[in-house]
Structure 1
């Protein structure tokens, strides 16, 4: 029994070492915040460890990535419920001309999208999933992925060509 537990732990550690950087990248793109992204990844990996025997044979990376997306959506739902009953602080977006790091610039542009739009763009174009895989990951219809992606890309094009500061619309879920 001890060998089985050690094997279980060793496989999980190997998975974490191989996938954690990419998972953190996905979470950071979703949240726009390194600290929150780290929390999402850690929470998702804890859940994956508990179910490791069930998920290791399939695709554990997809399982954890979906867990990150779901945890992020749950976090925003809770935040929106709290905001309905309290004043909303305004987030300040850094001046894009000051941003040197392309990743920081990408995150700031992604923050101009709604949560669903951002999730679709990250999974579809940055994680290179198909429309069907993206729909499955997010638990939405294929047509919703297509229309959401089109709307998000249009927003990004307009914002980029207008060369204006992005206006944060986080927390405005689409039905």
Structure 2
């Protein structure tokens, strides 16, 4: 009996290790989308995987990934109300909206299955998904404007920092040393495309989050 139990435990350990190696990264990504915090996501996933490991023998032919995902959703869904998720790619969404967006778009769960897992009507899930998508596609709210006093102080500091030329000429272009003047020792700088090109024409590549799941 002991040898049979030991063999079963060894088989479970090997199967569970293979499962976590293949699905752990995706589950961690889902947990990070939900919590918005990588450290909190790791703690949540650790609890989830511990539960899956304990129930491994009882799952039988069930998909362990679906069991892990259901446990992840359940634990996040029933967290204390004051632990509102913040940060991450879905920072502008509520906890319920995070759940719907993560399940529907990242995990690819059908609308009916998502509704059943969250205990909501299908049309309610559809409405939450539409609202969350509109929020992600819209521009973030502008930062609050500075007070009048702060704006005046900043403007005064900028004026004080400007260089002044007591001779009435340009402070940024000393006489006789304009690099763009032909015939000087530096030559005609306008012949150099890197110098002559307008600032707006020298674009640099950028990457931004589109906000659409």
Output the TM-score relative to the length of structure 1. 0.71
Aligned partner of 2:32 in structure 1 is 28
Aligned partner of 1:112 in structure 2 is 92
Aligned partner of 1:125 in structure 2 is 105
Aligned partner of 2:8 in structure 1 is 4
Aligned partner of 1:147 in structure 2 is 127
Question: How many equivalent pairs are there?
Answer: 138
Kindly tell me: are residues 156 and 140 of structure 1, through their superposed partners in 2, closer, same or farther at Cα, counting changes over 3 Å? same
1:35 is paired with a residue of what secondary structure? helix
Larger RCO: 1 or 2 (CA < 8 Å, sep 6+): 1
Q: Which has the higher helix share?
A: 1
Output the TM-score relative to the length of structure 2. 0.59
Aligned partner of 1:17 in structure 2 is 21
TM alignment of 1:61-140, pairs within 5 A = 61-77=65-81, 79=83, 107-108=88-89, 110-140=90-120
Deviations 1:107-163 (A, max 9, x none): 33x121111111101110111111112123323221111111011111122236x7x
How far residue 54 of structure 1 moved from its aligned partner, in angstroms, is 1.8
Q: Distance in 2 between matches of 1:78 and 1:31?
A: 13
Kindly tell me: are residues 39 and 119 of structure 1, through their superposed partners in 2, closer, same or farther at Cα, counting changes over 3 Å? same
1:79 is paired with a residue of what secondary structure? coil
Q: Distance in 2 between matches of 1:113 and 1:76?
A: 17
Aligned partner of 1:55 in structure 2 is 59
Q: Once superposed, which parts of structure 1, at least 4 consecutive aligned residues long, lie more than 3 Å away?
A: none
Kindly tell me: are residues 159 and 55 of structure 1, through their superposed partners in 2, closer, same or farther at Cα, counting changes over 3 Å? farther
How far residue 56 of structure 1 moved from its aligned partner, in angstroms, is 4.6
How far residue 78 of structure 1 moved from its aligned partner, in angstroms, is 5.7
Q: Which has the larger radius of gyration?
A: 2
How far residue 55 of structure 1 moved from its aligned partner, in angstroms, is 2.0
Kindly tell me: are residues 112 and 71 of structure 1, through their superposed partners in 2, closer, same or farther at Cα, counting changes over 3 Å? same
2:108 is paired with a residue of what secondary structure? coil
Cα RMSD (Å): 2.0
Aligned partner of 1:39 in structure 2 is 43
Q: Distance in 2 between matches of 1:78 and 1:43?
A: 20
